[in-house]
Amino acid sequence: MPESPPPDRERHLIRYSGRGGFSPGIADRASGSTVITEDGRELLDFTSGQMSAILGHGHPEIVATVREQVGRLDHLYSGMLSRPVLDLARRLAETLPAPLEKAMLLTTGAESNEAALRMAKLVTGRHEIVSFARSWHGMTGAAANATYVAGRTGYGPAAPGNFALPVPDRFRADLVDADGDLDWRRQLDLGFDLIDAQSVGSLAACLVEPILSSGGVVDLPPGYLAALRDKCHERGMLLIVDEAQTGLCRTGDWYAFERDRVIPDILTLSKTLGAGLPLAAVLTSEAIEQEAHDRGFLFFTTHVNDPLPAAVGNTVLDVLIRDRLDERARELGDRLQGGLLELAERHKVIGDVRGRGLLVGLELVDEGRDDGGSGDTDALGGAVTRRCADLGLHMNIVQLPGLGGIFRIAPPLTASDAEIDRGVAILDEALTAETS
């Protein structure tokens, strides 16, 4: 008998996720918080797709907007404007504090970060970029050079002038005070001492996430973002805040930077803005936009300011405002973290539960394993993830060396109380099975 041909996924697809592979099964359809595979299995989606579908899958108002807009005006020459684009730019500015009032609409988070970095370099006349040592800002050019959590090995030299700051991780504190807590002020001072020593005097911008997601769901300590802003402005740098995953109500506030009362010089949005469709934005002040324009700012792409995704963005804002999903994210986040903290009391392998709103991290440790453990929380995390999938829960895990035991949990803002409880119960069952 001749051998059966390999499945399409093995025969024709380029594997693009590093050492990781594709999730098992073939997705057929999705609704709300549930993904259904071709063989009829239902998965509770606690990743919101790629951390993007904040309104769940197939939200009826998003579906209606796409159907109407695609038949009216889908794509234009990039120099043309449409009403959905003008409306979304204005409405985004209305959700933000002054002076963030100028917007351009793009497609992905990487693209919005590319545009922001390009603008910062042009406006400052400098080229050096600072970001966190476990950052993820995208896989294209300048965004990849500012990404340190993965993807740097084997691709040749990075662009000169990119520097990494130590991550203020309170659970894995590297510099501690007399009480044993993270001394983030001293850490930040030392980080900039090293950057100043390496800089050729051309520091342009600092690009950071207010909660490092791929880097382990690390929430910046209160006060850190303000101190970082001061460090930047002392050096004539711009502060760029990447809210691809934290923006638009996921953390319980419209924007995560609001907690610290720090207004970035440039804000980038993506993922949540399109609720699963490709839509991103760069927002900045009139003064920065004017300086960039005067210097000939160029970021002309095929899908800049496209009307179809802009119309979807307007519908996303409609739903977020009408349904008060910032408040709902706080309520569901409290419920989710409360359930996970209860699990931590019974499963010693859970070392930490952290996050804000519906962006929650759960970190495993090896000390509590019944078999004594080997320190390999990467393997344990992978096993728990697979068991969760078998039981009907898709939960995003950072499958990177040293971070494999950290779960990123981000259900849709439209999830029900019962779905949150069911997800926690499945995780409980998976942990019991893999650690007993």
Active site residue 306: no
271 is catalytic: yes
Nearest partner of 268 among 194, 205, 340, judged by Cα: 205
Q: Is 102 a catalytic residue?
A: no
At 368 the pLDDT is 46
Whether the pLDDT of residue 426 is over 50: the answer is yes
- Higher pLDDT residue, 338 or 374? 338
CA pair distance 325, 308, nearest whole angstrom:
23
What's the CATH superfamily of 8-58+325-435? Aspartate Aminotransferase, domain 1 (3.90.1150.10)
The active-site residue out of 114, 183, 219, 242 is 242
Reported confidence tier of residue 18, pLDDT bands at 50, 70, 90: confident
pLDDT in tens, 230-281: 999 999 999 999 999 999 999 999 999 999 999 999 999 999 999 999 999 9
Active site residue 72: no
Cβ atoms of residues 246 and 355 within 8 Å = no
114, 121, 128, 136: the catalytic one is 136
pLDDT, residue 398, reads 65
pLDDT at residue 370, as a whole number: 45
pLDDT at 7: 67
Cα separation, 73 vs 307, in Å, equals 6
Chain Cα centroid distance, residue 97: 21
Rounded to whole angstroms, the Cα distance separating 59 from 55 reads: 6
pLDDT tens digit string along 300-320?
A: 999 999 999 999 999 999 999
Helix ranges (H only) for 199-248 are 224-234
Give domain 73-322's CATH architecture: 3-Layer(aba) Sandwich (3.40)
Count of beta carbons in the 10 Å neighbourhood of residue 189: 13
Predicted pLDDT of residue 23: 84
Q: What is the mean pLDDT of residues 428-436?
A: 95
Q: Under the phi-then-psi rule, with left for phi > 0, alpha for psi from -120 to 50, and beta for the rest, what region is 249?
A: left
pLDDT tier, 371 (very low <50, low <70, confident <90, very high otherwise): very low
The residue type of 207 is L
Catalytic position from the list 337, 408, 419, 434: 408
* Whole-angstrom distance, CA of residue 57 vs CA of residue 414: 10
111, 209, 243, 253: the active-site residue: 209
pLDDT over 60 at 385, yes or no: yes
Question: pLDDT by residue (tens digit) across 397-425?
Answer: 666 667 789 999 999 999 999 999 999 99
Q: What is the pLDDT confidence band of residue 21, given thresholds at 50, 70 and 90? A: confident
For residue 426, give both structure tokens.
Answer: 């499945």
pLDDT tens-digit readout, 166-182: 999 999 999 999 999 99
CA angle 54, 58, 64 (to 5 degrees): 110
Q: What is the mean pLDDT of the chain?
A: 94
Give pLDDT tens digits for 131-188: 999 999 999 999 999 999 999 999 999 999 999 999 999 999 999 999 999 999 999 9
Domain definitions of the chain by residue range = 8-58+325-435, 73-322
- Is pLDDT above 80 for 2? no
Residues in the chain: 436
254 is catalytic: no
pLDDT at 75 over 90: yes
The one catalytic residue in 187, 245, 337, 399 is 245
Q: Exactly one of 231, 235, 271, 387 is catalytic; which is it?
A: 271
Q: Is 327 a catalytic residue?
A: no
- Tens digits of per-residue pLDDT, 333-364? 999 999 999 999 999 999 999 999 999 999 99
- Bridge-based pairing of strands 162-165 and 100-106 is unpaired
Q: Indicate if the pLDDT at residue 3 is higher than 70.
A: no
- Measured N-to-C along each axis, helices 377-391 and 417-435 cross at an angle, to the nearest 10 degrees, of 130
